[in-house]
Structure 1
Amino acid sequence: MKLYSFLLLLILIALLLVSCSESGECHSERMSLNRDWTFLRVDSATHVDEGMIVKGIFPPGAVNVALPHTPRIEPLVVNDQWQGICYYRKTFLLDKKDEEKNIFLKFEGVMNVADVWLNGKHLEKHLGGYLPFVIDITSVAHPDSVNTLVVRLDNRDNPVTGPKPLKELDFNTYGGIYRDVWLIKKAPVYIVDPVCRNKKGSGGVIVTSGNVSENSAEMIIKTHVINTRNKSADIVLKHTLISENGKAVMSGKDGGCINAGCDTIFECKMQLKNPSLWSPDSPILYTLKTGLYDGNFLADCDTTRIGIRDIKITAEGLYLNGKKIFLRGVNRHQEYPYVGYAVPDNAQYRDAYKIKEAGFDYVRASHYPPSPAFLDACDELGIFVLDAIPGWQYFGDSLFVNYMKRSARELIRRDRNHACILGWELSVNETPMPEYFMKEMNAIRTEEDPGTYTAGWIKGKYDIYIEARQHRKEVDRCIPLIVSEYGDWEYYAQNAGFNQNKWNDLLEEERTSRQPRESGEKRMLQQATNIQEAHNDNLTTNAFADGYWVMYDYNRGYANDLEYSGIMDICRLPKFSYYFFKSQRSISDLNVFAKPMIKIASFWTPGISKSVKIFSNCDEVALYLDNRLIGKKTSDKDRFSAFLKHPPFTFDVECEAPGTLTARGYYKGKEVCSDSVSTPGKAYKITLSVDTSGISPRKNDLIFVYARIIDKNGTLVNTASDRVYFKVKGNGSIVDDSPVEALGGIATILLKTGSVAGNVFVEATSGKLIKDVLNVDYK
């Protein structure tokens, strides 16, 4: 009996030890290295000795910076973007216990050619600025000691990575370590990073689903594991799928023996009952937690967010979860004013939020891979993304081809688990490509992510044909089609539209869709008209998606002005056309963004406002002038509106004297929204506001602060161009603290918050205008 009790006690102790081990902390670590870098631009130093720099000894002129970082704060209009060589230095301390671990550095994005040294030893030269790379520093790093990391960046024109030289390029590429950098520690047996190049279709945790319906979905989880020990390892992988409400809805495990120094891809198949399906209207996400157990030791862990959905694309259209849908979308460049590409994760989210709020469910990543944070936001908000390899109007030699093939593989590996991915644009945009190249791009997709779709601008060479409307000769209804770009060049080039003679009396700047927000009512309405005509025409084709060019105004390498075809300006302020697109989203209780909306596209100015155009998703609109009913009507019916979901409402009334217009929207017979606009008076005061767009200000953030010049009644004085002076007090700074000229009545600054939670006071003054002070709290 005593022996039995003793054995039982041993068993209980063993079970307790296993339980404690399996519930312990994961032995992999991922630490941000974004803080406390030393930065030196070569052209800012009197003498540069690279032999000393790579050892971590920087000359005078070096400054302390945080990531994301751009080498030079640029002006609002960039016509001489900085190009050259710069260096970054970072020191970090490893623990004594790290001797038994594998140590890595991961760079999410640096521009463009990176040389990396650690403790004076050159580790790697990496080409390409848009995709991540990982460096194994295990043999060079010093445990229980300070380590010195030095990165040399060269963002000058490069024939291997392309695209065209900056002076000929239609967008800027900027520079710096502009995305996150991570220090990663792994146990001897660990899950391989997604951009590992050892095996085709390998890297990280790969989640795919099949036979998807509302009743069930087959889930396949592949996990790439490597054993760096000098003996074999018996491992177990435990997978748990967590719903949005935190409930475990599915679990499974797999594993086996991995020989010494080898890597293996394990596969686990599971069946999920009654899955919640991801869609733009209902972007439901699951979290897959994967634990790698080496015996009873939790050696590594991984968290993967996924959305379960079924996509089928044919010449007839896009079928999502068995239902045919159309995706109204937009193209996007990732730059911000002043800082270029150095945009933190919260600001990436705000960009995606604005895209969704504008009425879009699809965005084309033009013409390079976007930030992982932007894709995370698209997953959450329900925005499909056509993901793209980098390139525009340039095709190089064999080294360029190899670079593009590597980019395609790494793009897919980085992004394939995102629910938002519609397809892979593995085509060098607007560039003739050899037949073999396009075949190899499709083959890479098949190796890395079978069952998904490729897209390209050469007809018949990819699964999806993406055609810019200005390139269209005729509609081919036998192939899957996306209108990749439209609305920008049509009237400017005078090669599209139904009645070009109608615009013969307009100046070129009045015909074009490239209209600054401050250009006034007539020209902003012209942009909206161009967009309406083109979008309406796209709906006559078999396209299952279209993407307006472009969401935000942006800088171009070869131009001394902004590219103004955005429906928002570069500071993310809306033009009239923004509200046209917003009106095309129907009212629905299923989508939090599908609310009733109405917008009067006018400043109601005598001599300028010849009629009143109203954008709304309502059934009827009533218009009042100074509380007097002008009329109540349904939406326009003309050739520019025939296929629109919600055509505009146009009222034939001219502004002859100052007054106030009020529009009321009716849905199913009930008033559901309204909008008012008054003739602006004399500039009287400044009022400040902060752009939050779904995320309140946080630490290490970049946020827009807007100073609106208003009259005594609170109406924006849209013609005001006063110079506004900004000051800040507290834990924050202005990215460019020069005085700002108001554009269209609004002056904008980019505010950088501090590295710890706090607040910053922003003051705006301008001449005799009443000033305003804003308290920005952030966490």
Structure 2
Amino acid sequence: MNYLKTKTAYTFFILVLSLTIQSYAQDKPTTTNINKNWKFKIVDESKVATKELLTADFNDKDWQNVQLPHTANIEPLVVNNQWQGICWYRKVVNISKADAAKKVFFELEAAMNFSKIWVNGKLVSEHHGGYLPIALDLSNYIKAGENTIAIRLDNTDNEITGPKPLKRLDFNMYGGLYRNAKLSVKENVYISDAVLANKVAGGGIFITYPKVSKALSTIKIKTNIANDSNKEQNVTVVQNIINNGKVIKTYTSPILKIEATKNVDNIAELSLNNPNLWSPDTPNLYVLETKIQVDGKTVDSQKTKFGIRVFEFKENQLYVNGEKTFLRGVNRHQEYPFIGYALSDNAQYRDAKKIKEAGFNYIRLSHYPQSPAFMDACDELGLVVIDAIMGWQYYNDTDAFREYCYRSASELIRRDRNRPSVLAWEVSLNETKMPIFFMEELHKIVHAEYPGDNVYSCGWMDDVYDIYLQARQHRILHPHELKNKPYSVSEYGDWEYYSNNAGLNQHKLPKDIRLEKSSRQLRADGEVRLLQQAYNVQESHNDNLNTPAYSDSYWVMYDYNRGYHDNIEASGIMDIFRLPKFAYYFYQSQQSAEQNKILKIATYWNQDSPTDVTVFSNVDEVKLYVNNKLIATQKPDVNNISTNLKHPPFTFKLNSFTPGTLVAKGFINGKQVAEDKVSTPEKATKLKIWVDESGKPATANVNDVLFVYIAAVDKNGTIDPNFKGEIAVNLGNGLELVNVGAVIAEAGIATAVVRVGNVSGTVPIKVTSGNLQTTYNFKIK
């Protein structure tokens, strides 16, 4: 293995796993989340030999107890010197005598980036890649009693996995065991793991849909059953389709005679009358319950969520279940401030929930595989996704690099192939010149791993892939000629407003004003620049609708850190703490009023505010009042940046600033359906606290992480956007402040990143700034 190292410091990270797995009844195979009680320490390699770290009697009493998801290093808010090095974790797993005779499987959902795993001193795995699962059969390595598992991680720059070295990378990859870890104990006849089985278009459970319609749909289920016993077994597959907790369809296979040490596929085709189809507007999910029986006794079982749907292209336009659908989307990087990638499953859901609430029905997952929990949320919420392998501005002309990419493509599809949310597989290295044969092989892998119709590869070069991802922001204009294939504007709205030689009319602007005209605007940059960002996204999204594109995806949903740069990339429509900017409300207003009625006045309405007041809404008509006086009744704007929009903004020209209250009332067919109010901020008199739970309440015992917002408000509850004070945060038992450095308000709101421990119930949060203070009683499940 040959990999680059950009730092001379080495750090160690050993894990030894401590858990008692009890024997289980035959109808209850055991899968245990083993996120708790990991030992962690940064160790100087020159002082401790690797062979010592692997032993069960190594003294780790002074090591830190941590819980997964875990980051190798807590970083500052602006990450311009991210930790890189070598690290280990350690624990002891206690396996009962009965379980030691069964099948024992171990899975890490992700481990950044090159890992080595030992069990009882024996090397079990060397694995390149930090975004896809590591699945291992430990049956030949474990014994009854204590078992030592040690994992060595290396997140330094790597020539096999890429991408570019961190000092030139446009995002951060962070480190650690930042997703879940699981241990499974099964009988010797079991449902195989799709990744571990390593079978093209096979292994595990694979669900496809030969026929999809509202009247009748056909569900094809391929189940791979392994027999690791020393004799032939008589096996029956029993499968139930469950809807809202009720079994609506049952299948029982004929008896399958499986030879010792062999595996077989069982294929079932089931029909459902009047099925509830999955779509972005109606994300209906079913549960497939699969039971494996040997001589009539259940030895393994698994539940798989699925959704019945078909994605088709007709004249290069997308049809979902036969209905023409435009996908309005966004790109997403998965980092949180301070903890990098180490998000709880709840936090992953909350990120997806915000994207859906912003009015989007689509996400391009840039530029790597993202968490299974995030994918679960996309399935549940109705967010269509493009699922991507790792790749950004890096191609290495070696067999090792190519084989890594090919394996990543196969394993990504095996992991996510049953998800209704996945439209296409981005088996392409973003913004990278790739040889044709390499792209052709990746394209072939997609169609081999997911055979049949209505399966799509995609990439940013249009020569090979089924779908062309055209990053308009990296070209002056949309291409005038496209090959006859579906076309998605995969990135837009940022670079063409930052570079001085790209996009719309920006090539005509002098370089010295590009920052104020940019889409890269922090919340602290003020109303004028936040409104400029909103103007940019409106102009570019409106322009996209001039093209034959079936979708577009703005760059980017959330502000994020960049490995090579000393500031935060601020083109997000929400900041790094997931607080909305004005552009967020523009996108919200583009959804149908039948889905959600939106009305938002985009101003702070103080002496620094523009007197042209923008209202984002999806209503027919808006009335604007100043201090209860009707100023104007208006229809949506008609101008050159609203020609293609279903719901252009409303612009009211007030000519002068009058302190007081603005009220906007929205009407559809003459009936008031919405209202918004903004008041001029007065002197702050108190602090206000609210917690972002976004559909997933704070939960103990899962290493949950939350944003706690603290604002300075006046006597009317209006936030003072000019407040920049430091906030002292005092947390009750079970909560931990993660922030590096002081908690300081930006545009009137400070954010505390809080980790939830293992204490449930009501926990106080007390905040103080000068003579302002308040206490919030926070409930934890």
Residue matched to 2:9: none
Question: Using the alignment, how far apart are the partners of 1:510 and 1:365 within structure 2?
Answer: 28
Q: Does 1:469 align with 2:472?
A: yes
Question: Using the alignment, how far apart are the partners of 1:69 and 1:424 within structure 2?
Answer: 28
Residue matched to 2:776: 774
Report SS of the residue matched to 1:666.
strand
Q: Does 1:645 align with 2:651?
A: no
Alignment of 1:327-346 (within 5 A): 327-346=327-346
Question: Using the alignment, how far apart are the partners of 1:704 and 1:679 within structure 2?
Answer: 26
Q: Does 1:520 align with 2:511?
A: no
Moved over 4 A (4+): 58-61, 495-506
How far the C-alpha of 1:714 sits from its partner, in A, is 1.3
Residue matched to 2:514: 508
Q: Does 1:741 align with 2:747?
A: no
Report SS of the residue matched to 1:110.
coil
Residue matched to 2:154: 154
Residue matched to 1:487: 493
Report SS of the residue matched to 1:195.
helix
How far the C-alpha of 1:24 sits from its partner, in A, is 7.0
Question: Using the alignment, how far apart are the partners of 2:558 and 2:673 within structure 1?
Answer: 30
Alignment of 1:388-467 (within 5 A): 388-396=388-396, 397-450=398-451, 451=453, 452-467=455-470
C-alpha contact 1:604 1:655 (8 A) present in aligned 2: no
How far the C-alpha of 1:496 sits from its partner, in A, is 5.0
AA of the residue aligned to 1:688: I
Seq. identity, %: 47
Aligned pair count reads: 749
How far the C-alpha of 1:280 sits from its partner, in A, is 0.8
Question: Using the alignment, how far apart are the partners of 1:523 and 1:255 within structure 2?
Answer: 68
Give CA-to-partner distance per residue, 1:446-499, whole Å, 9 cap, x none. 111123111001113100000011234325273201100000011212445555
Question: Using the alignment, how far apart are the partners of 1:373 and 1:668 within structure 2?
Answer: 41
Give CA-to-partner distance per residue, 1:601-630, whole Å, 9 cap, x none. 111122431310010011111100111001
Question: Using the alignment, how far apart are the partners of 1:651 and 1:169 within structure 2?
Answer: 43
C-alpha contact 1:216 1:274 (8 A) present in aligned 2: yes
Report SS of the residue matched to 1:41.
coil
Structure 1 pair 715–259 and aligned structure 2 pair: CA distance change class (3 A): same
C-alpha contact 1:255 1:266 (8 A) present in aligned 2: no
Question: Using the alignment, how far apart are the partners of 1:288 and 1:501 within structure 2?
Answer: 54
Question: Using the alignment, how far apart are the partners of 1:79 and 1:109 within structure 2?
Answer: 24
Report the more deviating stretch, 227-236 or 322-331. Answer: 227-236
Structure 1 pair 181–499 and aligned structure 2 pair: CA distance change class (3 A): closer
Q: Does 1:698 align with 2:704?
A: no
Residue matched to 1:563: 569
Residue matched to 1:20: none
Residue matched to 2:12: none
Residue matched to 2:756: 753
Residue matched to 1:529: 535
AA of the residue aligned to 1:304: T
Residue matched to 1:723: 726
Alignment of 1:59-458 (within 5 A): 62-143=63-144, 145-396=145-396, 397-450=398-451, 451=453, 452-458=455-461
Structure 1 pair 482–58 and aligned structure 2 pair: CA distance change class (3 A): farther
Which residue among 699, 706, 710 is the counterpart of 1:707? Answer: 710
AA of the residue aligned to 2:707: F
Report the more deviating stretch, 116-125 or 106-115. Answer: 116-125
Question: Using the alignment, how far apart are the partners of 1:59 and 1:206 within structure 2?
Answer: 43
Report SS of the residue matched to 1:748.
strand
Structure 1 pair 190–247 and aligned structure 2 pair: CA distance change class (3 A): closer
Question: Using the alignment, how far apart are the partners of 1:654 and 1:62 within structure 2?
Answer: 64
AA of the residue aligned to 2:313: I
Residue matched to 2:613: 612
Report SS of the residue matched to 1:174.
coil
TM-score (norm 2): 0.93
AA of the residue aligned to 2:618: N
Report the more deviating stretch, 97-106 or 522-531. Answer: 97-106
C-alpha contact 1:706 1:746 (8 A) present in aligned 2: yes
How far the C-alpha of 1:578 sits from its partner, in A, is 0.3
Alignment of 1:574-723 (within 5 A): 574-588=580-594, 594-699=595-700, 700=702, 701-723=704-726
How far the C-alpha of 1:500 sits from its partner, in A, is 4.8
Question: Using the alignment, how far apart are the partners of 1:255 and 1:438 within structure 2?
Answer: 43
Give CA-to-partner distance per residue, 1:679-707, whole Å, 9 cap, x none. 22223221111001111111131111000
How far the C-alpha of 1:303 sits from its partner, in A, is 0.7
Question: Using the alignment, how far apart are the partners of 1:475 and 1:772 within structure 2?
Answer: 60
Give CA-to-partner distance per residue, 1:695-728, whole Å, 9 cap, x none. 1111131111000111222111112111111111
C-alpha contact 1:317 1:480 (8 A) present in aligned 2: yes
Question: Using the alignment, how far apart are the partners of 1:564 and 1:737 within structure 2?
Answer: 20
How far the C-alpha of 1:672 sits from its partner, in A, is 1.0
Consecutive unaligned residues of structure 1, counting only runs of 5 or more, are 1-22, 589-593
How far the C-alpha of 1:199 sits from its partner, in A, is 2.2
Structure 1 pair 674–762 and aligned structure 2 pair: CA distance change class (3 A): same
C-alpha contact 2:31 2:183 (8 A) present in aligned 1: yes
Report the more deviating stretch, 176-185 or 503-512. Answer: 503-512
Give CA-to-partner distance per residue, 1:649-696, whole Å, 9 cap, x none. 001114423221111111121111111111222232211110011111
How far the C-alpha of 1:743 sits from its partner, in A, is 0.7
Q: Does 1:546 align with 2:549?
A: no
Question: Using the alignment, how far apart are the partners of 1:743 and 1:148 within structure 2?
Answer: 47
Structure 1 pair 187–767 and aligned structure 2 pair: CA distance change class (3 A): same
Report the more deviating stretch, 631-640 or 464-473. Answer: 464-473
Report SS of the residue matched to 1:708.
strand
Residue matched to 2:51: 51
Question: Using the alignment, how far apart are the partners of 1:491 and 1:735 within structure 2?
Answer: 34
C-alpha contact 2:77 2:740 (8 A) present in aligned 1: no
Residue matched to 1:13: none
How far the C-alpha of 1:508 sits from its partner, in A, is 2.0
C-alpha contact 1:236 1:255 (8 A) present in aligned 2: yes
Consecutive unaligned residues of structure 2, counting only runs of 5 or more, are 1-23
AA of the residue aligned to 1:721: K
C-alpha contact 1:284 1:307 (8 A) present in aligned 2: yes
Report SS of the residue matched to 2:195.
coil
Residue matched to 2:3: none
How far the C-alpha of 1:259 sits from its partner, in A, is 1.0
Question: Using the alignment, how far apart are the partners of 1:636 and 1:401 within structure 2?
Answer: 51
C-alpha contact 2:603 2:609 (8 A) present in aligned 1: no
Structure 1 pair 242–373 and aligned structure 2 pair: CA distance change class (3 A): same
AA of the residue aligned to 1:430: E
Question: Using the alignment, how far apart are the partners of 2:279 and 2:333 within structure 1?
Answer: 24
C-alpha contact 1:254 1:266 (8 A) present in aligned 2: no
Residue matched to 1:12: none
Question: Using the alignment, how far apart are the partners of 1:335 and 1:152 within structure 2?
Answer: 23
C-alpha contact 1:315 1:542 (8 A) present in aligned 2: no
Question: Using the alignment, how far apart are the partners of 1:42 and 1:753 within structure 2?
Answer: 27
Report SS of the residue matched to 2:213.
coil
Structure 1 pair 506–583 and aligned structure 2 pair: CA distance change class (3 A): farther
Question: Using the alignment, how far apart are the partners of 1:123 and 1:660 within structure 2?
Answer: 67
Residue matched to 1:5: none
